[in-house]
Amino acid sequence: MIIVDAVARYIPGVLGAPEGAFEDSHAMGLLEYPHYTRPAEFQGLSVPEPLQQGHHVEITRWRRREAIRRTWQRRPDMLGHASLSEAERWWLADLAEETLAQDTARATAT
């Protein structure tokens, strides 16, 4: 089934939006960003603000950063092959520093 899925994606008309295949997990060397649906708030959890506002540039930026964040948290080995801009590399370094500071604070508090 995996092979059928992988091959079928290249047949015109199989995917509703052909560009969607380029956003799939691993297609750009990153895990996929989180997905949300309605309602905007469910069991105390809410959809992130950029996704609620409908500003497409901000949504794209949010998705990219979340894909980088998720990859860094779950599969950091993939980041070596991902194409990241200089700004994204700086953001990732800041994320790593923040996480290290939070972990250090937690360890010190206990």
Classify residue 31 as left (phi > 0), alpha (psi -120 to 50) or beta. beta
Find all residues with CB under 8 Å of 13, minimum gap 6, and list them: none
Q: What is the mean pLDDT of the chain?
A: 87
pLDDT at 47: 94
- At the top level of CATH, the class of 2-109 is mainly alpha
Share of the chain above pLDDT 90, in %: 51
pLDDT at 23: 61
Find all residues with CB under 8 Å of 48, minimum gap 6, and list them: 36, 62
Domain positions in the chain are: 2-109
Q: Which of 21, 17, 20, 19 has its CA nearest to residue 7?
A: 21
pLDDT at 59: 95
Q: Name the pTM for this structure.
A: 0.73
For tokens 């990859």, what's the residue?
71
54 in Cβ contact with 80 (< 8 Å): no
37 in Cβ contact with 52 (< 8 Å): no
pLDDT at 88: 94
pLDDT exceeds 80 at position 110: no
Digit-coded pLDDT (tens) for 10-62: 888 887 776 666 666 556 789 999 999 889 999 999 999 999 998 999 999 99
pLDDT at 77: 93
